[in-house]
Amino acid sequence: MLDFLWNLGSFIIALGILITAHEYGHFWVARRCGVKVERFSIGFGKAIWRKIGADGTEYVVAMIPLGGYVKMLDERVDTVADELKPQAFNRKSVWQRIAIVGAGPMANFVFAIFALYIMYLIGVPSIKPVIESTQAGSPAAVIQVNKPMQVIAVGDRSVRNWEEVTYALVGHIGDDAIDVTVAPLSGVMGEERSYKLDIRKWKFNPETESPITSLGLDVFRPAITPKLGFVDEDGAAYAAGLRLGDTLVAVDNQAYDDWEQFVAKVKASADKPLSVTIRRDGEQLKLTVTPKARTIDGGKVEGVIGVAPTQAPWPDEMQLQLEYGVGESLWVAADKTWQLVTVSIKMIGKLFTGDVSVKNLSGPISIAQGAGNSANYGLVYFLGFLALISVNLGIINLLPLPVLDGGHLLYYFIEVITGRPVPEKVQEIGFRFGAALLLILMSIALFNDFSRL
């Protein structure tokens, strides 16, 4: 319950910030173009707070935090007094209307730069992308790894941590090949090696694996210890008496060997009692755990008890602090935003070509979980999450669907070309079509969200 409330609260805060940035873009440019703004609302429905500003605009925070709007004076919507008609949105030039509508998505991109700028000023603890081997028969099998090697570039983009590797790899889904450059962890000049990976048959399910492991890269990880670093209070292990900090001694009356062996036994014991011996405060305890059954892809059933181990500290040479000065942070933030924009656009394109499944679409539930998880890790990670969602919000609003900002822009650019507005009947048909398509996409995203729960 606490996790649900935390995720919900983080989601509302994140969405409120992003909606405010988006609507403020419309508001700011509308005012600069001489349009009278009647209401600036964050959320829909009944107002829980309102104030009339000195500029005559009504500022509102409403109960349903799933959107917002800027209500501008418009003769197509309301009767407008003669003396106020010059301030009506519909009386402005087509280029001014384009600027006002386009300012919302642009504000999302600007906010992403701002969030990342603050993030890089604070500093982001990261881990270098080091691999210790590759999987036989995988696209990455061509890479020769005799000792831990650091991935330094994917395609034509340099990478510094696993997040950047992930974004770079995702951008190549559907391509025939991808270049991956590796170098010794020591960073000796001249020892870099580039490999061309054949990815024509590369597929991965983002719900169960990452693009890194599915490509065949075995990520270096510090040794796993038998000490429990996480015990789910709703899991079978907690119900059986296991607690955070317990050390595994034996499983099924056999001495604990390694974590993979332990996991294999748990998976093979769905709904079957399993003997687990642990050490706690210097004493050994023997407990009986009955793993809960879970159905995975293909209908296979496996056991799960809800625990995770601790691991040895990361070696100092593999740790990285992404931190920059006042000026450099702005450049890095802008470059990162551009990378997010290009990857997001590519992914939308691959949805239409079929290279990416619609099963990858995420809705508000997944976003709420992402907001809660990033907030759990701290401010810098929450800022990174805000930047990612802000970029996606800006891009989605630029799609040429009549119900979105991009649809309005499409109509206005047609007006620029033809010299006259798109007929209202045509616009109405477009709005209905756009609303229907958007509803279908949202339904798919929600279905995907519920199927992941």
Read off the pLDDT of residues 50-92 as tens digits, 9 standing for 90 and up: 999 888 899 999 888 778 889 999 888 888 888 889 999 989 9
Q: Which amino acid makes up residue 355? A: D
What residues contact residue 352 under an 8 Å CB cut-off, 6+ apart? Answer: none
Distance CA 286, CA 307 (A): 17
According to DSSP, the β-strands at 247-251 and 254-255 are antiparallel
pTM of the full structure: 0.76
**Going from the N-terminus, what domains does the chain have, and what CATH number goes with each?**
99-123+324-453 (no CATH), 126-222+313-322 (2.30.42.10), 224-311 (2.30.42.10)
pLDDT per 10-residue tile (average), the chain, 453 residues? 68 86 94 93 89 90 86 87 89 94 95 94 88 88 86 88 85 85 74 87 72 87 89 91 92 88 90 92 92 79 90 86 88 90 80 62 52 63 88 89 86 90 82 74 59 53
Catalytic residue numbers, as ranges? 23
Of residues 38, 130, 116, the one with CA closest to residue 81: 38
Read off the pLDDT of residues 313-345 as tens digits, 9 standing for 90 and up: 888 888 888 888 888 999 999 998 998 888 888
What residues contact residue 267 under an 8 Å CB cut-off, 6+ apart? Answer: 291, 302, 303, 304
> Residue by residue, what is the 3-state secondary structure of 103-146?
HHHHHHHHHHHHHHHHHHHHCEEEECCEEEEECCCCHHHHCCCC
According to DSSP, the β-strands at 124-127 and 149-154 are unpaired
Of residues 368, 350, 337, the one with CA closest to residue 204: 350
Burial 353-383 (b: 16+ CB within 10 A, else e): eeebeeebbbbebbbbbbbbbbbeeeebbbb
